[in-house]
A = this chain, B = another copy of it.
Amino acid sequence: MEPGPPGGGRPHEPGPFLSGPRGADLAAPASSLSVVAAVLPAGGCGERMGVPTPKQFCPILERPLISYTLQALERVCWIKDIVVAVTGENIEAMKSIIQKYQHKRISVVEAGMTRHRSIFNGLKALAEEQPNLQLSKPEVVIIHDAVRPFVEEDVLLKVVTAAKEHGCSDYDLEFGTECLQLALKYCHTKAKLVEGSPDLWKVTYKRDLYAAESIIKERISQVICIVMDTKENKEHVGHLLEEVLKSELNHVKITPGTLCHAGKGLQQIILEQCYNFVCVNVMSSDFQETQKLLSLLEESNLSILYPVVVVSVHFFDFKLVPLSQKMENLMWIREFAKEVKKRNILLYGLLICYSQDEQKLQESLRQGTIIIAALIKERNSGLVGQLLVA
C-alpha cells in the first residue's frame, strides 16, 4: 500500500456514514471557546495484548490503531491542535504514520517514563512558546487515550462543555485520575473527567483488536454504490441486480452512481466516503466502465484510509458463449487487480449467468448478491483478482 501522490490529498469532508450523531449544537464550541487542543499519551508497550507490537501500533485492516484515533479527533474541526506523545524509538514511525495517512494538525512529542509524564510533556508543548511546533495555547485540553478509536464528536463536545462550565473542580481532583492535578499544577490549564459511553471502550486485549476490526469493517460496509453504463437497451439487467441488492441486503444503502458527464455523480459519492463499488459491465467483453471507475478512485485517494472494494460484474449467456471462453476473456482482471491492490483498492470479478428464464435469472442475481456481500464484508486482499461465478 503506497501513500497517495504528493499534493493529492484524501477527501477530508467527514462522510455521513462514519461520523456519529450530529446535533445542531455541535458547532457551538467553535464560537464560544477560543482554543481546544487534545493530548494523546501513546507511550505504552501493550503488555496485556500478548503481541510484540505496542497496541497503539497494531494494524487494523493494515493501518495502525493510533491512526484511527487520530482520524476520530482530526475530523472534529474545533480541535485546533492534537499532540501525540510516543517513546523516543517510535517518533520516526509516528511521523511516517502521520505522513502516510495524511493526518493534519498533529504534533509529536516524546513520551515520559509514565503515562502522567507523557501527558505532562504534551501539555508542556501546548503551554510553552515553541516556534517550531506553531501550537496555540489552549483554553481546554482533552486528554484522550490513543487506544480508544471510537470516540465521537458529541462525547468530545460534552467534555469540552463540562470543562468550560465547571473548570477543574474539587470533585474531579478527588475522584478523577491524577492527570487532572498534573494539568492544573504544572500548566495552569483547566481539565475535567467526564464519563464515556460503551463505544469509548479501550483496546486492551487481543480480542479488542478483533472487535475493533469487525466494527470498522461493518461501518465501511454500510453503503454500496452500483455503477452502470447507461447505454440504452443494455441497462436492464443491471437495474435488476440493483433491485436484488436492495431487497437482499436490507441493512445496506444501495446508491446508484454514473460515470457519464465526466463522473460528477460518482465524485460526490466518493466525497461522501463510500468504500464499496459494484460496477456493471453489460457490453460483452467490455471493461471500460471498470477501468474508468478505477481511474477515478485512484485520483480521489479515497483508499488512503480504508481498503476500497470494487466488484466488476459481467453477465454471460451460456447458450451464446461458453463459460470458459467468457472467463478467458476476463483474465485481465487478475493483472488489473495486482496493480490497484498497491493503491489499497481490492478488485474482484463476478460473472453472473444471464438467463431468459425469469426465475433462473433471479436465482443467479441472488447468488451474485451473496458473493458481493461476502467480498465486501471480509475485504480480503488474498482473493483479489479472482473471477467468481454466480
Contact = CB atoms under 8 A, between A and B. Distances in A.
Interface stretch (A62-70, A107-115, A322-330): A322-330
A132 B331 CA distance: 65
A131 interface: no
Interface string A363-390: 0000000110110011010110011110
A215 interface: yes
Contacts of A130: none
A214 interface: yes
A208 interface: yes
A201 interface: yes
Nearest to A334: B389
Contacts of A210: 210-211, 213-215
Nearest to A370: B382
Interface string A29-52: 000000000000000000010000
A207 interface: yes
A383 B374 contact: yes
A378 to B, nearest CB: 5
A182 B377 CA distance: 46
A207 B148 CA distance: 14
A6 interface: no
Contacts of A371: 382-383, 386
This protein's copies in its complex: 2
Contact of A383 (B205, B208, B324, B388): B388
A387 B383 CA distance: 11
A100 to B, nearest CB: 24
Contacts of A382: 370-371, 373-374
A272 to B, nearest CB: 25
A23 interface: no
A205 B208 CA distance: 12
Contacts of A5: none
Interface residues of A, number: 33
A152 B215 CA distance: 27
Contact of A327 (B201, B215, B327, B380): B327
A205 B198 contact: yes
A370 to B, nearest CB: 4
A208 B325 CA distance: 46
Interface string A184-204: 000000000000001001000
A359 to B, nearest CB: 17
A121 B370 CA distance: 44
Interface centre among A201, A212, A215, A327 (most CB of B within 10 A): A327
Contacts of A205: 198, 201
A253 B4 CA distance: 39
A378 B388 CA distance: 16
Contacts of A377: 380
A374 to B, nearest CB: 3
A99 B383 CA distance: 37
Contacts of A214: 207, 210-211, 213-214
A14 to B, nearest CB: 22
A7 B373 CA distance: 37
Contacts of A388: 383, 386
Contacts of A380: 374, 377-378
Contact of A328 (B323, B334, B383, B387): B323
Given A201-B205, A207-B211, A210-B215, 12 more contacts: A48-B198, A198-B205, A201-B207, A210-B211, A213-B214, A322-B324, A322-B328, A323-B328, A324-B328, A377-B380, A378-B378, A383-B388
10 contacts: A201-B205, A201-B207, A210-B210, A210-B211, A211-B214, A324-B325, A324-B327, A370-B382, A374-B383, A378-B378
